[in-house]
């Protein structure tokens, strides 16, 4: 995996340098940092959840646009994927009483994205752009272990039906990234960006096999396989710095 990432970055910088020299006698790249709020949703194979509100932060690097229109980019960031439920009613496994609960399910992921962006001028100093790419992610940790306190020692039906468990989280995932934004020129080499992106997963963040729960009764309860996919809407604001290198024969 490390060799693949290293090869990808080497190829990215080679293409960046080649693009710049094809158009002009100058080369270089742009880089920056961006971040903001995220709206996370998860598609469950059974049931549904509400939106999770969480932050994200991303560092990025990109080629100088060919003819001022087309660029390649790479970015890496920390994202919180997940979902939530709020004020939902549950039945206690102990005595059958009812109670309301609100919970957030958080998956803290490191993501690496590679893609291309198309740039169009708005006026002499500002521009808008849209982009598409592929994304790979690794789950650093989750907050799912905090729900163990809701487990009943004699009957784990409540937790198994209502909450995902940490043991069934898939660490490696992949998906796409699609979005657009506006860049406002602050100076010749600095720009302010405002960007909106959608990040659907193609793989399952969570996969729990079928389980059977006896619960101390004569009739066993079968819980079907549970699959969860992430999808996150992200609003980012950041700074873009441009570095230009002149080639001298």
Rounded-to-integer distance, Cα 77 and Cα 74, Å: 10
Q: What is the pLDDT of residue 162?
A: 60
CA atoms within 13 A on the CB side of 36: 15
User: What residues contact 41, with CB distance under 8 A and at least 6 apart?
Assistant: 49, 51, 52, 83, 230, 231, 232, 233
Q: What is the pLDDT of residue 22?
A: 46
Tokens at residue 233, please? 């809407």
Q: What is the pLDDT of residue 61?
A: 95
Q: What is the pLDDT of residue 90?
A: 58
Residue 202, classed as helix, strand or coil, is coil
The CATH number fitting domain 2-246, selected from 3.50.50.60, 2.40.160.20, 3.30.70.1170, 3.30.750.24: 2.40.160.20
- Residues in the chain, total: 249
Q: What is the pLDDT of residue 98?
A: 53
Measured CA to CA in angstroms, residue 52 lies from 27, 40, 80 at distances of 42, 5, 9
Rounded-to-integer distance, Cα 25 and Cα 21, Å: 6
Each residue's pLDDT, cut to its tens digit, for the chain (249 residues) gives 445 445 455 555 454 455 444 444 455 789 999 999 999 999 887 667 889 999 999 999 999 876 768 899 999 999 999 998 877 665 555 555 555 567 889 999 999 999 999 999 898 889 999 999 999 999 999 998 876 655 554 444 444 456 788 888 999 999 999 999 999 999 888 999 999 999 999 999 998 887 766 655 556 666 678 889 999 999 999 999 988 765 555
Q: What is the pLDDT of residue 58?
A: 98
Q: What is the pLDDT of residue 20?
A: 45
């Amino acid at each position: 995996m490390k060799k693949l990432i290293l090869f990808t970055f080497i190829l990215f910088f080679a293409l960046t340098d080649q693009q710049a020299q094809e158009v002009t006698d100058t080369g270089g790249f742009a880089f920056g940092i961006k971040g903001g709020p995220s709206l996370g949703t998860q598609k469950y194979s059974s049931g549904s959840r509400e939106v999770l509100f969480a932050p994200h932060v991303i560092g990025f690097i990109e080629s100088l646009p060919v003819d001022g229109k087309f660029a390649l980019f790479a970015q890496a960031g920390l994202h919180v994927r997940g979902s939530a439920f709020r004020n939902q009613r549950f039945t206690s496994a102990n005595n059958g009483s009812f109670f309301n609960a609100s919970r957030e399910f958080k998956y803290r992921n490191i993501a690496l994205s590679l893609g291309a962006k198309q740039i169009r001028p708005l006026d002499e100093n500002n521009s808008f752009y849209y982009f598409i790419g592929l994304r790979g992610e690794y789950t650093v940790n989750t907050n799912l272990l905090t729900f163990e306190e809701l487990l009943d020692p004699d009957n784990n039906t409540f937790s198994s039906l209502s909450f995902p468990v940490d043991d069934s989280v898939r660490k490696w995932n992949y998906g796409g990234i699609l979005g657009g934004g506006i860049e406002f020129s602050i100076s010749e080499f600095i720009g302010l960006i405002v960007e909106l992106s959608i990040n659907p997963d193609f793989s399952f963040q969570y996969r729990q096999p079928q389980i059977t729960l006896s619960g101390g009764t004569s009739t066993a309860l079968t819980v079907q396989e549970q699959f969860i996919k992430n999808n996150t809407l992200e609003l980012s604001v950041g700074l873009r710095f441009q570095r230009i290198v002149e080639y001298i024969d």
